[in-house]
Amino acid sequence: MSSLRRPGLVLLAALILYSVTISPFTDYMRRKPVEEKLGYLPTLKVIRVMAADQKEVMGASLIMKVLMYFGGITMKQQEKIIAEPPDYVMMSRVIHGALQLDPYNMDGYYFAQAFLVWDAHQVAIANNLLDYGMKYRTWDWSLPFFAGFNSAYFLKDYAKAAEYFKRAGELSGSPLYINLTGRYLQESGKTGLAIGYLKTMIATSRNDTARKSFEIRLKAFEGVRIIEMACDRFREKEGRIPSSVAELLASGFLQALPLDPYGGQFYLEPDGKVATTSKFAFAGAKNEKRQNSGESHERH
Partner 1 sequence: MIQVIRITLKGIFRDKVFQGIMMLAVLFAFIPLAASLSMRQVVELSITLSLSLVSFIMLVLAVFLGATSVWKDIDRRNAYSVLSLPVSRMSYMVGRFYGIALFMLFVSLVLGLVTAIVVGMSAGMYPPARPVVWSYIALALLFNALRSILLVAVAMLFSTVSTSFFLPVFGTTTVFIIGGVTQQVYDFIHTQAGAESLVPFARHLASIIYYVVPNLSSFDLKVNAIYAINPTLNGILLTLLYFAVYTTIVLSAGVLLFERREIK
- Residues in the site for partner 1, rule: CB under 8 A? 48-49, 52-54, 56-57, 60, 64, 67, 102, 104-107, 110-111, 114, 137, 139, 205-207, 210
CB atoms within 10 A of CB 102: 20
| Positive or negative: CA dihedral 294, 67, 35, 55 | negative
Asked if residue 61 lies in contact with residue 70, where contact means CB atoms within 8 angstroms, the answer is: no
- Output phi, psi for 43, to 5 deg: -65, 155
Q: Which is nearer to partner 1, 53 or 288 (CB)?
A: 53
Task: Give the whole-angstrom CA distance, residue 95 versus residue 110.
Answer: 10
Q: Which is nearer to partner 1, 208 or 269 (CB)?
A: 208
Torsion (CA) 79, 279, 255, 80 in degrees, nearest 10: 10
CB atoms within 10 A of CB 191: 21
User: In the complex, what is the shortest distance from the CB of residue 14 to partner 1, in angstroms, rounded to a whole number?
Assistant: 25
User: In the complex, what is the shortest distance from the CB of residue 188 to partner 1, in angstroms, rounded to a whole number?
Assistant: 31
Q: Which is nearer to partner 1, 137 or 190 (CB)?
A: 137
Q: Which is nearer to partner 1, 206 or 240 (CB)?
A: 206
User: In the complex, what is the shortest distance from the CB of residue 202 to partner 1, in angstroms, rounded to a whole number?
Assistant: 13
User: In the complex, what is the shortest distance from the CB of residue 300 to partner 1, in angstroms, rounded to a whole number?
Assistant: 22
Q: Which is nearer to partner 1, 68 or 259 (CB)?
A: 68
User: In the complex, what is the shortest distance from the CB of residue 81 to partner 1, in angstroms, rounded to a whole number?
Assistant: 23
Task: Give the whole-angstrom CA distance, residue 142 versus residue 43.
Answer: 30
